[in-house]
Structure 1
């Protein structure tokens, strides 16, 4: 069963057929986009707060104060916001004309967001937890520079996804033609 198509006047797809079965009404699309932007800004802010704290710890601030606070922000804000940013981004891709893999900027943003969420889950927040435990036990923090590097890289990656979403570079992803659209093999 094929998905119904309509002609569209979308600036990036003028005159091309587009699937209409998965589109949201404009008010819901705007609400989902607003939620995604809000969550993404919150994610950048929470990561900037973690970067500020781990930088202060690296520069000599009281580790007992800095690292538990950074871990708390990482657990209670950064991780949930990363998951929400990924979820709302996927929903936008699936439920709007942009698609998940139709445009390079969306595909790259999806890959970056998924990778960043995984790194936050399995590297940054556990590292913050180890640093907080070490600081509370009055032991030296094992990799203070690594925490600054990881959190700083996360901030840069989030800023890159913002730039991608704003500039929308690279055009569409070209796919192989469907079987019915492929040219017949030549018989020489």
Structure 2
């Protein structure tokens, strides 16, 4: 008689305890809302810096944009991303079982990757250009600086979609969640 070998089971990540889940949810909501607020602040500063006719206001807006972006964007995005992964793997939702979780993961991953590769270099370039200009002198940054506004609008739409998905939690499962 032939002996059957059991198929290896995928290792299961232990579920979070109710107290740990609540703590991670709180940290996730704080970091996600903070990230959204930071995004709206950077978008506002970009619009002010690109549309003002006051040199002092332009210098102040882009100086503040650089300080906020360089000090907070990466930590906030990574905290939101990391706590989201902990919640995905540590709760019944999983990472790929439900469409809403998978879409949030992809949107967040895109933003986390684009911040250091695209957004922060753009912020640094504009801030360096304005910072290298004498005080009281308005800088024409050209059409390329408008990318900051486009990036702010796109990321706001992405974060808003994530909030809507988190609140509505559509129950539709992916093919991996149906198996």
TM-score by length of 2: 0.83
Match of 1:42 among 34, 45, 65: 34
Q: Which runs of 4+ in 1 moved over 6 A?
A: none
Residue 177 to residue 68, structure 1, CA distance change in 2 (3 Å): closer
The structure with higher relative contact order (CA 8 Å, sep 6+) is 2
Whether contact under 8 Å (1:134, 1:140) holds in the other structure is: no
Name the SS of the counterpart of 1:115 in structure 2: helix
The aligned length equals 163
TM-score by length of 1: 0.80
**Residue aligning to 1:186:** none
**Residue aligning to 1:135:** 130
Whole-Å separation in 1 of the counterparts to 2:90 and 2:68: 31
Q: CA RMSD in A?
A: 2.1
Q: Deviations over 1:115-140 (max 9, x none)?
A: 01111121111101000000011253
Q: Deviations over 1:29-82 (max 9, x none)?
A: 111011100100000011111011001012115322111211111111122101
Match of 1:69 among 54, 64, 71: 64
Unpaired stretches in structure 1, ≥5 consecutive residues: 5-18, 179-188
